[in-house]
Amino acid sequence: MFRKLVIPILLGALCFAAGAMLRNGDSAPTTVPAYNVLADRTDGPVHYRHIVRTDPKLNLHIAEIDLTDPRVRVRVCPGGDDPDGEAGYWNTSLQTVRAIAQRERLVVAVNGNFFQCKDTRSIAGRKIPYFVGNWAHASGLAMSDGRLWSSHDEGEGTILVDKAGRVRIGYFHHDDAALRDAQQMASGFGVLVSDGQLVPQVFDRDVAPRTAVGIDALGKKLVMLVADGRRTDYSVGLTSAQVSKEMIDLGCRWVLNLDGGGSSTMVMRSADESNEPRLLNRPSDGHDLPISMSFERAVACAVGVEIVEPNK
């Protein structure tokens, strides 16, 4: 009788321990799939998933947006106003993606263009330029609601939204005819996938936090991907080639690599009564400080989605 009681108890304890290990992100047995969906949430035309993999450890945040829904507006929003006027070099000021999303009523948003900063502040003995309000220069093309506020062509690849709401990813210049109907633009560094084909010329071998956006063959779906990185005990990150493959698996035919590293951020409005944007990933800014910390970096702009009534 003792043996009959002990064996089921031991088996139950082992199963509970194994489940606890998986919930805590530890390596799973080979008989268990190498990934786990920690979050799966749908808000109208926006579907968000948080996927965890174990070998190597990786946390992916994926937002898929139904572009056929007439309520969807894809927007590019600067951090702040132009601090030195149209004639000056600086074209925006830094702000967090969360603050931008709150101000612009975005349902989901990620960081956008690469950028340069004007000043630095000393934090823990390091010179840090990524503070709210710092003057910034967004690289490449940037347009918000029809206003072109960055027209420098050094950005390699751009996501463009025209007046009809159609989303395209490719290479555009400030004098292209395609820009005549443009309403929103954000540039990145390299079109990783073009018409379903990998573009190896823009690949790099750095395993890092990443932000990418992509669209499917018919332009009916927009995909946003943020991969956490720089933490071997939590998430190592991805190379740009790995980002390309992830996005192709998600149905993307065109993919743009946006600013990454410490800038990689995804936020989404919370489902509770506060309805405020919530940080979904763990940004790596602060990883090089003397103590392990995670900060949400202030950035030049955000790419996000607003849900509005069709007649507005």
Percentage of the chain modeled with pLDDT above 70? 84
Supply the mean pLDDT for the chain: 86
Q: What letter would DSSP give residue 201?
A: G
Distance CA 19, CA 9 (A): 15
**Closest CA relative to residue 79, chosen from 107, 102, 108, 46:** 102
CB 288 within 8 A of CB 124: no
- Distances in Å between the Cα of 31 and the Cα atoms of 18, 27, 28 are 12, 11, 8
101 burial via Cβ count (<10 Å: 0-12, 13-18, 19+): buried
Structural domain spans, the chain = 1-31, 33-307
Report how far Cα 295 is from the mean position of its chain's Cα atoms.
15
Residue 107 burial (CB < 10 Å; 0-12/13-18/19+)?
A: buried
Q: Token digits for 156?
A: 């390699």
Residue 6, pLDDT > 70, answer: no
What value does the mean pLDDT take over residues 83-108? 96
pLDDT for 23 beyond 50: no
Overall average pLDDT of the 197-208 stretch: 90
More confident residue, 106 or 309: 106
- Which is nearest to 157 in space by CA: 99, 228, 240? 240
Q: How confident is the model at residue 141, as a pLDDT?
A: 94
For residues 292 and 284, what is the distance between their CA atoms, to the nearest angstrom?
10
Distances (CA, A) of 107 to 62, 66, 103, 128, 264: 14, 13, 11, 29, 17
Local structure of 239: helix, strand or coil? coil
| Residue 281 main-chain phi, psi, to 5 deg | -105, -175
Whether residue 231 contacts residue 294, with contact meaning beta carbons closer than 8 Å, is answered with no
Give, in order, the Cα–Cα distances in Å from 270 to each of 3, 88, 201, 202, 226.
50, 38, 39, 35, 18
- By C-alpha distance, which of 208, 223, 215 is closest to 48? 223
Rounded distance between C-alpha atoms, residue 102 and residue 112, angstroms: 16
- Which run of H or of E encompasses 108? strand 108-111
If you average pLDDT over residues 190-204, what whole number do you get? 92
Residue 286 has what pLDDT? 62
Give the largest CA-CA distance in the chain: 87
The pLDDT confidence band at residue 293, using thresholds 50, 70 and 90, is low
Q: Say if CB 157 and CB 215 are below 8 A apart.
A: no
Percentage of residues of the chain with pLDDT beyond 90: 68
Q: Is the pLDDT of residue 145 over 60?
A: yes
Look at strands 191-194 and 210-215 and give their pairing.
unpaired
63 and 48 in contact (C-beta within 8 Å)?
yes
pLDDT in tens, 263-290: 999 999 987 767 899 999 999 876 555 5
pTM: 0.86
168-191 mean pLDDT: 90
CA dist 268 to 28, 42, 49, 105, Å? 29, 11, 11, 10
Residue 82 has pLDDT above 70, yes or no: yes
Q: Look at residue 143 in the predicted model and tell me its pLDDT.
A: 96
Q: Which two tokens stand for residue 93?
A: 């000021």
Give me the mean pLDDT over the 85-93 stretch.
94
Q: Mind listing the pLDDT tens digit for each residue in 212-257?
A: 999 999 999 999 999 999 999 999 999 999 999 999 999 999 999 9
